[in-house]
Amino acid sequence: MPNIQEVTHPLVQHHLVRLRDKSTPPAEFRALINRLATVLAYEVTSDLELRPQDVTTPICKTTGHVLNQRIGIVPILRAGLGMVDPVLHLIPNAEVWHLGLYRDEETALPVEYYSKIPSTFPLDVGLILDPMLATGGSALAALKALQDRGVKRMKLASIIASQDGIDNVNKEFPDTQIYVCAIDPELNSAKFIVPGLGDAGDRIFNT
């Protein structure tokens, strides 16, 4: 699957161990999410479009390159909020849209409870953020929301994904680029990723 990129950098592998550890306290867990999201953001943005721009240095005039696309960050509430700041540090002028989804514990299907996604002037690139890609239900709902609003190019960044989640997203949105730090083999009966790290939102926000 050419649109799936698993980032296997040694620093990613190192930080994943503490992220998975059930004894890791919330403050450290948030810091680890931040570090891993920074590495993911570097990879996700590697093919963004540039345009030339003249600049005058203390020595002379020269020409550099700047981003040439309207980029929107779409965290899936609430866990996706933990990945926003690292991306904004790299792309300070990016727009931040919000999509609130929770998983129905009976059906494991996503339920939308909040949406702040403009329906006019679609983005050039929409970057969906969610630490966990489990069944893929929330990601599919987010991708459909962006597609309905005319976003042509969509990317998805998750810290840990299940193979099932990747397969489900790739089946429905094969052109979406997916970036993850780890691909875990399966889901348990409660649709949690195995081995995973538990509930990312609960661990980020200490609830």
Terminal CA-CA length for the chain: 36
**Bond prior to 118 in cis (omega within 30° of 0):** no
Is residue 135 flagged as an active site residue? Answer: no
Is residue 103 flagged as an active site residue? Answer: yes
Which residue in 85, 104, 148, 202 is the catalytic one? 202
Distances from the Cα of 189 to the Cα of 105, 194, 201, angstroms: 11, 10, 20
Token code pair at residue 26: 């919330």
Is residue 57 flagged as an active site residue? Answer: no
Which residue in 18, 38, 149, 199 is the catalytic one? 199
Is residue 45 flagged as an active site residue? Answer: no
**Bond prior to 35 in cis (omega within 30° of 0):** no
Structural contact between residues 11 and 39, judged by C-beta atoms closer than 8 angstroms: yes
Count CB neighbours of 194 within 10 A: 10
Distance (Å, whole) CA 132 – CA 90: 22
Distance (Å, whole) CA 120 – CA 200: 32
Distance (Å, whole) CA 130 – CA 193: 14
Structural contact between residues 177 and 44, judged by C-beta atoms closer than 8 angstroms: yes
Which residue in 103, 124, 149, 167 is the catalytic one? 103
Active site residues: 103, 107, 199, 202
